[in-house]
Amino acid sequence: MCGIAGVLTLDGSQADRDQLARMIAAVHHRGPDASGIEVRGPAGLAHARLSIIDLEGGAQPMASVDGDLWITFNGEIFNYIELREELLKKGYRFSTRSDTEVILNAYRAYGENCVNHFNGQWAFAIWDEQSRKLFLARDRSGVRPLFYTQTKNSFLFASEIKALFACSQVAKRIDPIGMDQIFTFWVTLPPRTAFRNIFQLPPGRSLAVTNNQIRVRRYWYLRCAPDPGFGNGNEQKASEELLHLLEDATRIRLRSDVPVGAYLSGGLDSTLTTALIRKIAGHRLRSFSVSFDDGDFDESAFQCEASTYLATEHSHISCSHGDIARVFPEVVQHAEQPILRTAPAPMFLLSKLVRKAGFKVVLTGEGADETLGGYDIFKEAKIRRFWASNLDSKWRPMLLKRLYPYLRDLQRQPTPYLKHFFHVKTEDLRSPLFSHLPRWEMTARLKLLFSSAFREEINNYDAVSELESSLPADFHSWPPSSQAEFIEFEYFLSGYLLSSQGDRMAMANSVEGRYPFLDYRVLEFSAKLPATLKLKVLNEKYLLKEASKGLVPQSIVHRRKQPYRAPDARCFFEAGAPAYVRDLLSPCAIKRSGIFEAQAVSALVGKFAAGKASSVKDDMALLGVLSTELLATQFLPN
């Protein structure tokens, strides 16, 4: 895993080596083991290396054997051994054992379609000297980030936005439309980011720059439409096939020339991943987890049970409210966008523990919830539809309260409020976005905190309409459960879980995360399964639980689903809270940035200071304001 950066001048002038040096220095944390720069006329490539495969021969930027192709690559191609053999049979030559050189020869063999041959997680750029073309690509799920921008004279790209900002020609400005999206969906809609004219290459896309023209092509998306009859009538066969795919996905993700560890949260997904590693590797495994001083969020009992059952050598980091407040500025700096939860902060501390233990690679369980029916939002949508079929029922709305026992504010609400909040109306049932309407509506209320000037810049923009216009052509014909899965996978997974909470927090401490559940074979298999094998009545991840039997403790297979959460805004209002909190939330600071209404923020802060803030909305509002003000302080000109 690494950091990459590069430039292509649009007037044909020589790429600036000093500029490339500044860009790659900005992402040194992604690759502290080595760095390199290559200038080929108008094209310049830079690389910061985290050595994992072919420690001696994998230096980058790397050239093809004939010297016509150059690459800078962030990620892993897990099936590189098999691809290398195929390419050798076709007559292609290799001078290293690295997966990087496999990409070069695959590009030579298959052109831009080379991405369809890869199983992995990647962001790379190839300079094709003969065609005078710069080719960029990002993996199917968006595990690895890739950003780009264009100035008057150059096209620039990098693993992180801060590397683009290392160029003096790149303006640093908050994008009001990007902010409107974050304060609706928690994420921006690719290619938009939180900064004006800074774009992200969406997952499953490639980009080519030729003759000063930029062309983006979608090469893959997850079609969440069940195959009629697929898996029905033979649950055992379906669970065996799922387990076989997960085993192979885990096997190839253990390919590494450095030790590999595992995150062990105590939930089903991470415990099964850890069990498969033990089954395949057969040696004593290092596992890592985060626990909380606050019992409402702590899962350490399950973590210890899983570690004991699987005989791992386990380490954990205990996270307090004060720890979250202390590292939050670093978290925002690495996330490079406002965040509405503190959950990334413990993950930042966890990756620091992993790196301190001498590990660069961990396997984790992300990706199972999205396509195997794991999230509460899928249950919620099912209950809402069930209620809507009998609106006069007195007990059906009670199912929603049982679903969220940890949301105290929700528990106090009467049925009319629940009916309104959860959009249990006929017209809402017809919406293809039905599953997510309550979440988005609640988050969108936070935009009332925006200043009048900032709202004027947003004008009448409708974020939900833009998302709906970007959906696949056949989306409206999919079953409701498949529509909900796609929205979670396409937007929230890549934009938040794999970014703010995933890649950014791990790579801040030079740790690479690998995700067996995001193997595209597992994803495509899961997307074809009928909804009843994922969410059986209200039993989440039913088929995965069946596949896990005998590998995972039964207590973990059958434990009540507990979403990963961390203590939120109250962390910033306890005795000894860092001074930056008071400074950034002061009326003077709020007025200076101009993004939020100072009076409204002061009222919110007063509510927390008096101990009267208790809702999820209050937590998100405070964190949205604080993280945005941190972002402005860290990235914008003074």
Q: Within 10 Å of residue 568's Cβ, how many Cβ atoms?
A: 21
Residue 191 falls inside a structural domain = yes
Burial 45-57 (b: 16+ CB within 10 A, else e): bbbbbbbbbbeee
pLDDT one-digit tens code per residue, 583-613: 999 999 999 999 999 999 999 999 999 998 7
pLDDT at residue 231, rounded to an integer: 61
Q: Which two tokens stand for residue 431?
A: 């919406």
Could you list the residue range(s) of the whole structural domain that residue 582 is in? 569-635
Q: Is residue 455 assigned to a domain?
A: no
Per-residue model confidence as pLDDT tens digits over 139-156: 999 999 999 999 999 999
Q: Are residues 67 and 111 in the same domain?
A: yes
Residue 253 lies in a domain: yes
Tell me, yes or no, whether 609 lies in a domain. yes
For residue 305, what pLDDT is reported? 96
The reply to whether 76 and 180 lie within a common domain is: yes
The single-letter DSSP state of residue 596 is B
Among candidate residues 550, 566, 582, the one where a domain is terminated: 566
DSSP-derived secondary structure letter, 120: E
| Number of domain units in the chain | 3
CA-CA-CA-CA dihedral for 16, 22, 26, 28, to nearest 10: 90
**Are residues 294 and 195 part of one domain?**
no
438 domain residue, yes or no:
no
Higher-confidence residue of 407 and 271: namely: 271
Tell me which of 2, 114, 167, 319 is the catalytic residue.
2
Same structural domain, 601 and 515: no
What confidence tier does 539 reach under pLDDT thresholds 50, 70, 90?
Answer: very high
2 noted as active-site residue: yes
Element (H, E) at 124: strand 120-128
Please indicate, yes or no, whether residues 231 and 348 belong to a single structural domain of this protein: yes
Domain boundary (218, 238, 266) is at 218
| 62 in the same domain as 101 | yes
* pTM score, whole prediction: 0.96
Would residue 338 count as lying in a domain? yes
Same domain membership, residue 226 and residue 212 = no
| 583 shares its domain with 545 | no
Burial degree of 86 (CB within 10 A; 0-12, 13-18, 19+): middle
Q: Which pLDDT value is given to residue 301? A: 94
Per the DSSP assignment, residues forming a β-bridge with 76 are 121
**Residue 227: pLDDT band by 50, 70, 90 thresholds?**
confident
Asked if the model's pLDDT at residue 463 lies above 80, the reply is yes
512 & 406 share domain? yes
Final residue before a domain boundary, out of 539, 566, 593: 566
- The predicted model gives 560-576 an average pLDDT of 90
CATH code at position 197: 3.60.20.10
Any idea how long the chain is?
A: 638
- Is pLDDT at 426 greater than 80 in this prediction? no
Reported confidence tier of residue 170, pLDDT bands at 50, 70, 90: very high
444 within some domain: no
Residue for token digits 């990409």? 103
**End-to-end CA gap in the chain:** 33
**pLDDT the model gives residue 279:** 95
pLDDT band at residue 233, thresholds of 50, 70 and 90?
Answer: low
Residues 242-248, mean pLDDT to the nearest whole number: 98
CATH number at residue 252: 3.40.50.620
Q: Which of 75-79, 399-403, 535-539 has the lowest mean pLDDT?
A: 399-403
Q: Are residues 268 and 409 in the same domain?
A: yes
Judged against a pLDDT cut of 70, whether residue 338 lies above it is answered with yes
Clarify whether residues 158 and 264 are in a common domain: no
Listed range (30-44, 169-183, 245-259, 404-418) with the worst mean pLDDT: 404-418
Higher pLDDT, 30 or 418: 30
Q: How confident is the model at residue 421 (pLDDT cuts 50, 70, 90)?
A: confident
Residues 205 and 251 in one domain: no
Average of per-residue pLDDT across 395-407 = 85
* Cβ density class 259-280: b for 16+ within 10 Å, e for less: ebbbbbbbbbbbbbbbbbbbee
Q: Which of 252, 255, 292, 240 is nearest to 98 (CA)?
A: 255
Backbone dihedral angles phi then psi of residue 206, each to the nearest 5 degrees: -125, 160
Percentage of the chain lying above the pLDDT 90 cut: 87
- Domain assignment present for residue 597? The answer is yes
